[in-house]
């Protein structure tokens, strides 16, 4: 697939773009040849400069060009698409044609109520009110330009708290399916001369006049030279922040795992704040329910160990403890939101899965796709797999409190014997933890989302400290912060869908 040519049709002669050049970055000669010369880009005054060519930036550029605007897209990466090539591509909307065709009753009001319930009311309610009314139109448009969801979709859930109606959907090709359909109308506008784009170009700061109105972007090109790119409007669609130092500064939590898109370095946040904007949402930081990391570095990379902690697919035979050796959660709680929030309160967002040899022999594999021989090998290979002939020895190697662990195992075993967990109400209590050697797997809660983001109006205008719009400056996508769209609970589809919807809104309305 990577070596094939993909044809993107235009009005006249077909335009052929090498997928390796646009998505893989294995060579940029053809892509660079399609772009305007940097000097030309700097010599014009554009109607709109879109900083970031991903989930929000592509629809923003498409719809602005369709309104007659001359658009320049600037992206620091080596290709367009942002995080769509690695995204699961999960979206959600109420009142879509797809729902109607399947007889699914839903409404924007019901979608809003579900968002408020799952987010614990912590989203930007005014912005979400706009979103739920606009979402179906954008999802329908994706269908019109070729997007096709998986059979049986929409569904109620797919990882986090379920909706009360079937409105959640994605393609078997995940985010690449959305990227593919967005690139076609985007390059139609490129062919028609309405859109130009610069890759490997880093937007550094916004240009403002004496009244504070935004007039363009100062950027550094692929050749290292700085240039002023002038425009009537600017849309920040740069994504979130994967820079470890900046991430911790924003959220007060280390970026333990390096999972996010490496080109999302928080530039849009810096530019927005530099122009007078205000950040919000960091207080809604959440952690995913843990993974095995490769080493002790912060951030580290995932070790590629697919530990299954989802009770829906594998009931836990093990117990979970924090650094003090104490249980902190009902291990078989059906709500991932409840488990994640329990982990959020633990020291360094970290826990250990504890089990013995009898459980290892009898239980379904804790790691997807691994047999017992592979599990046994992992205890010699990975830093965060530990075992010992006693609980004290296990605690020493794992780095947890020995007395706390011994007390917790004793109390847990008593619960198994009685068939009742008085501490957390766990229901699945198959075996005690009593036969050495004892095992522990360290799980690290981490996150790839930026919860801090720019404050915007319902019209996507970036607001200053007084709550007034900064003239000519708009924002959409993760630069708004996950806190604004998913609140204090991960809401299915409420990261990618708002990016698509709000990007479209900016392009469609700014020049209407």
Per residue in 297-337, pLDDT (tens digit) is 999 989 989 999 999 999 999 999 999 999 999 999 999 99
Per-residue pLDDT band for 473 (boundaries 50, 70, 90) equals: very high
Q: What tokens does 213 get?
A: 């109105």
User: Helices then strands (H, E): number in the chain?
Assistant: 17, 18
Q: How far apart are CA 494 and CA 480, in angstroms?
A: 12
Closest alpha carbon to 154 in 126, 185, 114: 114
Q: Percent of the chain scored above 90 by pLDDT?
A: 83
Q: Is the pLDDT of residue 3 over 50?
A: no
Q: How far apart are CA 364 and CA 361, in angstroms?
A: 9
Per-residue pLDDT band for 43 (boundaries 50, 70, 90) equals: confident
Closest alpha carbon to 233 in 463, 423, 48: 48
Per-residue pLDDT band for 37 (boundaries 50, 70, 90) equals: low
Q: How far apart are CA 496 and CA 492, in angstroms?
A: 10
Cβ neighbours of residue 185 under 8 Å, at least 6 residues apart? 62, 145
Q: Is the pLDDT of residue 129 over 70?
A: yes
Q: How far apart are CA 423 and CA 333, in angstroms?
A: 13
Residue 44 confidence (pLDDT)? 86
Q: What angle, rounded to 10 degrees, do the helices at 402-418 and 391-398 form? A: 130
186 three-class SS: helix
CB 325 within 8 A of CB 405: yes
Cβ neighbours of residue 152 under 8 Å, at least 6 residues apart? none
What does the radius of gyration of the chain's CA atoms come to, in whole angstroms? 25
341's torsion region: left (phi>0), alpha (psi -120 to 50) or beta? alpha
Q: What tokens does 63 get?
A: 């719809």
Q: How far apart are CA 61 and CA 51, in angstroms?
A: 10
The model's pLDDT over 242-271, given as tens digits with 9 standing for 90+, comes to: 888 999 999 999 999 887 778 888 899 999
Q: How far apart are CA 433 and CA 357, in angstroms?
A: 8
Residue 266 confidence (pLDDT)? 86
Residue 447 confidence (pLDDT)? 87
Q: Residues 432-460: what's their mean pLDDT?
A: 95
Q: How far apart are CA 397 and CA 236, in angstroms?
A: 47
- Cα 288 to Cα 45, 53, 259, 350, distances in angstroms: 44, 27, 12, 11
The residue written with tokens 């769509």 in the block is 84
Q: How far apart are CA 511 and CA 302, in angstroms?
A: 44
Residue 24 confidence (pLDDT)? 38
Give the predicted TM-score (pTM) of the model. Answer: 0.88
Tell me the H-state helices in 252-334. Answer: 267-274
Can you spell out the DSSP letters for 60-90? HHHHHHHTT--EEEE-SSSSS-TTTTTS---
Q: What tokens does 198 get?
A: 């610069």
- Higher-pLDDT residue of 6, 342: 342
Q: Residues 225-230: what's their mean pLDDT?
A: 93
Q: Is the pLDDT of residue 502 over 80?
A: yes
Q: Is the pLDDT of residue 78 over 60?
A: yes
Q: Is the pLDDT of residue 274 over 60?
A: yes
Q: Is the pLDDT of residue 185 over 80?
A: yes
Residue 38 confidence (pLDDT)? 65
The answer to whether the Cα torsion of 90, 95, 98, 103 is positive or negative is positive
Q: Is 38 exposed, middle or buried (0-12, 13-18, 19+ CB in 10 A)?
A: middle
Q: How far apart are CA 128 and CA 484, in angstroms?
A: 8
Q: Are strands 469-475 and 226-236 parallel, antiparallel or unpaired?
A: parallel
Q: Residues 386-390: what's their mean pLDDT?
A: 97
Residue 42 confidence (pLDDT)? 76
351 three-class SS: strand
302 three-class SS: strand
Residue 7 confidence (pLDDT)? 29
């Amino acid at each position: 697939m990577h070596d094939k040519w993909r044809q993107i049709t235009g009005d006249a002669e077909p335009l052929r773009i090498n997928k390796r050049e646009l998505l893989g970055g294995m060579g940029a000669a053809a892509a660079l040849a399609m772009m305007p010369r940097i000097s030309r880009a700097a010599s014009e005054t554009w109607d709109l400069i879109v900083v970031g060519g991903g989930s929000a930036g592509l629809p923003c550029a498409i719809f602005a060009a369709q309104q007659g605007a001359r658009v320049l897209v600037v992206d620091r990466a080596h290709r367009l698409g942002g995080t769509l090539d690695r995204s699961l591509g999960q979206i959600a909307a109420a009142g879509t044609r797809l729902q109607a065709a399947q007889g699914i009753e839903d409404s924007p009001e019901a979608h809003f109520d579900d968002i408020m319930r799952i987010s614990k009311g912590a989203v930007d309610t005014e912005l979400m009110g706009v979103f739920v009314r606009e979402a179906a139109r954008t999802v329908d448009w994706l269908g019109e330009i070729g997007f096709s969801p998986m059979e049986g979709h929409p569904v109620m859930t797919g990882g986090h708290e379920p909706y009360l109606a079937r409105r959640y959907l994605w393609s078997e090709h995940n985010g690449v399916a959305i990227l593919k359909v967005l690139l076609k109308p985007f390059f139609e506008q490129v062919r028609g001369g309405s859109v130009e784009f610069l890759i490997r170009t880093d937007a550094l700061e916004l240009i403002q006049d004496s009244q504070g109105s935004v007039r363009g972007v100062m950027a550094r090109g692929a050749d290292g030279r700085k240039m002023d790119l002038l425009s009537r409007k600017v849309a920040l669609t740069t994504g979130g922040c994967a820079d470890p130092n900046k991430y911790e500064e924003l959220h007060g939590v280390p970026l333990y795992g390096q999972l996010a898109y490496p080109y999302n370095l928080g530039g849009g946040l810096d530019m927005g704040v530099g122009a007078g904007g205000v950040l919000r949402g960091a207080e809604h930081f959440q952690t995913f329910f843990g993974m095995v990391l490769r080493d002790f570095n912060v951030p580290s990379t995932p070790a590629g160990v697919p530990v299954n902690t989802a009770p829906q697919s594998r009931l836990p035979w093990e117990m979970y403890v924090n650094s003090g050796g104490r249980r902190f959660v009902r291990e078989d709680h059906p709500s991932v939101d409840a488990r994640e929030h329990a982990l959020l309160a633990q020291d360094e967002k970290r826990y250990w899965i504890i089990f013995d040899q009898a459980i290892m022999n009898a239980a379904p594999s804790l790691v997807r796709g691994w047999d017992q021989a592979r599990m046994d090998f992992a205890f010699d290979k990975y830093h965060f797999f530990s075992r010992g002939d006693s609980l004290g020895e296990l605690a020493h190697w794992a780095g947890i409190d020995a007395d706390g662990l011994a007390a917790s195992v004793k109390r847990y075993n008593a619960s198994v014997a009685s068939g009742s967990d008085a501490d957390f109400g766990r229901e699945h209590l198959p075996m005690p933890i009593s036969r050495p050697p004892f095992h522990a797997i360290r799980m690290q809660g981490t996150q790839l989302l930026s919860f801090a983001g720019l404050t915007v109006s319902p019209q996507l205008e970036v607001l200053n400290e007084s709550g007034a719009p900064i003239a000519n400056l708009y924002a959409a996508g993760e630069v708004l912060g996950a806190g604004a769209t998913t609140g204090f609970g991960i809401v299915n589809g409420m990261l990618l869908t708002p990016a698509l919807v709000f990007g479209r809104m900016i392009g469609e309305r700014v020049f209407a």
